[in-house]
Amino acid sequence: MIKKLRLKFTFICSLGMGIILISICVFYFSLSETQLKNQGETIVKNNLNSIVYKIQDNKIIDNAWLSQLEAGNKIIVHIEDGKYPLSFRGSYKTITSRDILIADVQEKALSEYGFNTRIKPESIINVSSIFFEITGQHKELYKAALAVVPMDSGWQSVIVLRDLKQDYDAMAHTRLVFFIAILFLTVIMFYFSWWFSGKAIQPIEKSHRQQMEFVASASHELRSPVTVMGLSIASLEKSRNEEDTNKFISSLKHECTRMSRLVNDLLTLASSDINAVPLNSEKFDVQTLLLSLYEHYTPLAVSNGLELTISLPDCPIPVLNGDYQRLYQALGAILDNALFYTPFGGNVELEYSLGRKKLTIYVSDTGTGINDENKDKIFDRFFREDSSRSKKEHYGLGLSIAKEIISSHSGKIYVKDREGGGSIFVIELPATN
């Protein structure tokens, strides 16, 4: 499922960036082709104008200058004095014969544009000109420019032809460059999209993995009481002794209590996952909360051979605004955990301090402590340093629930080492005096 989701994200990301990339490339390619065409037309116009200016200035146009003009600009130049062409055979060779091209240009100018270079122009001042394209015998394209220049003694006509093959070759090269660039960038975009989608779905993948681990761990924990209950019921059916019957009934009650506690914890965590943990907001003082916890857990501490102490500082009593029962549940889980993992004869202490708009509660114990690599993991669901799960009194959910409740009150919880051995759980909550 995760792989399919990643492929889908990769496809969507690549498609989106590909559309943008292709749009940019098409825009710049169109701009490049337009510039090439304009450049070709400019060359034809500039050469036509330079010849016209020479004619108007009555300057001598010799064959050497025309040859240099043709070779340098890859054009054909044809000049006629009235009806008679100049004796210039040209230096630039084209696929189609230049005589055929000149004749085709004159014919198209006359038939399609009514532009006749072999009759005297009506205006004796203005130079008339036209521009169009023609096709040679081998389907090659040429840009044609014609001009008629009136003279005192008559007129002269000029034809300039430019082979567009070089422009189309440049366009083809540009297309190839753009195609290779798009192909190269597409490959890069795909790998980037694959990497990016992998990063994007990491939280989803982590959540899915945690969900699977959660279900597997919950199933493991539920299997034990269900198995015991099944065996107890089977034994109860066969029992003929009242003492054995009472023992099996007691076992069933105990396992039902364990299962009920586990199910309630699972429901609390499931509600926190969808931000649906109900909170009844009320104001209460911290000392009342801590004293209630102290009184409730003192008998458990005594039964475990431990000493539970409470330290209340001489300062204004801080007030919390939150769910009293939920915070009682969270701190109770932390105290229960401390009492459970502190060896016989140890000490567990409950105290608090008040800072600027912040209340800090400390639950310290003289137990074996927590390894540095496990200080964050202990708040994970079903995590226990006793990985064998031999201690069935604890499911490894208490600290997870405590963290969720404290986080829902805009607080935070962490653990640090206690000087002399053991651990200190630190709970920070917003509070007022």
Work out the pLDDT band at 388, boundaries 50, 70, 90: very low
pLDDT (average), residues 369-398: 69
- What Cα–Cα distance (Å) separates residue 383 from each residue in 206, 373, 422? 16, 13, 19
Work out the pLDDT band at 118, boundaries 50, 70, 90: confident
pLDDT (average), residues 272-285: 72
pLDDT tens digits along 177-231 = 888 888 888 888 888 888 888 888 787 777 667 667 666 666 656 666 677 677 7
**Range with the largest mean pLDDT of 13-17, 245-249, 285-289:** 285-289
pLDDT value at position 276? 53
- Helices 324-341 and 398-408 cross at an angle (nearest 10°) of 150
Rounded Cα–Cα distance for residues 85 and 78 (Å): 7
pLDDT value at position 278? 67
pLDDT value at position 5? 79
Work out the pLDDT band at 54, boundaries 50, 70, 90: confident
Instruction: Please name the CATH architecture into which domain 209-273 falls.
Output: Orthogonal Bundle (1.10)
**3-state helix/strand/coil string of 360-386:** EEEEEECCCCCCHHHCCHHHCCCCCCC
Question: Pick the residue with more confidence: 13 or 133?
Answer: 133
Rounded Cα–Cα distance for residues 361 and 345 (Å): 23
pLDDT (average), residues 363-374: 89
Work out the pLDDT band at 309, boundaries 50, 70, 90: very high
Average pLDDT, rounded, for the chain: 83
- Where are the chain's structural domains? 2-168, 209-273, 282-430
How large a percentage of the chain has pLDDT more than 70?
Answer: 87
Instruction: Please name the CATH architecture into which domain 2-168 falls.
Output: 2-Layer Sandwich (3.30)
Evaluate if residue 322 carries a pLDDT over 50: yes
pLDDT value at position 220? 59
Work out the pLDDT band at 4, boundaries 50, 70, 90: confident
Evaluate if residue 284 carries a pLDDT over 70: yes
First vs last Cα of the chain: how many Å apart? Answer: 52
Query: What's CA 308's distance to the chain center, in Å?
Result: 52
pLDDT tens digits along 241-263 = 777 777 778 777 767 776 776 67
8 A C-beta contact, residue 86 and residue 80: yes
Q: Which CATH superfamily is domain 282-430 in?
A: Histidine kinase-like ATPase, C-terminal domain (3.30.565.10)
pLDDT value at position 277? 60
Q: Which of 292, 291, 331 is CA-nearest to residue 411?
A: 331
pLDDT (average), residues 286-314: 91
pLDDT (average), residues 45-60: 84
Evaluate if residue 426 carries a pLDDT over 90: yes
Evaluate if residue 425 carries a pLDDT over 80: yes
Would you state the structure tokens that stand for residue 398, as one six-digit string? Answer: 């208490």
pLDDT (average), residues 142-163: 89
pLDDT value at position 336? 87
Q: Which SS3 state, helix, strand or coil, does residue 201 take? A: coil
φ, ψ (nearest 5 deg) of residue 274: -110, 20
8 A C-beta contact, residue 353 and residue 313: yes
Helix (H) or strand (E) holding 112: helix 98-113
Tallying the residues shown for the chain, one arrives at: 433
pLDDT (average), residues 283-298: 91
- Range with lowest mean pLDDT among 109-118, 235-244, 390-399: 390-399
Dihedral sign (CA 398, 403, 404, 405): positive
Q: Please indicate whether the domains covering 2-168 and 209-273 agree at the CATH topology level.
A: no
Evaluate if residue 274 carries a pLDDT over 60: no
**Range with the largest mean pLDDT of 55-64, 103-112, 207-216, 390-399:** 103-112
pLDDT (average), residues 408-412: 90
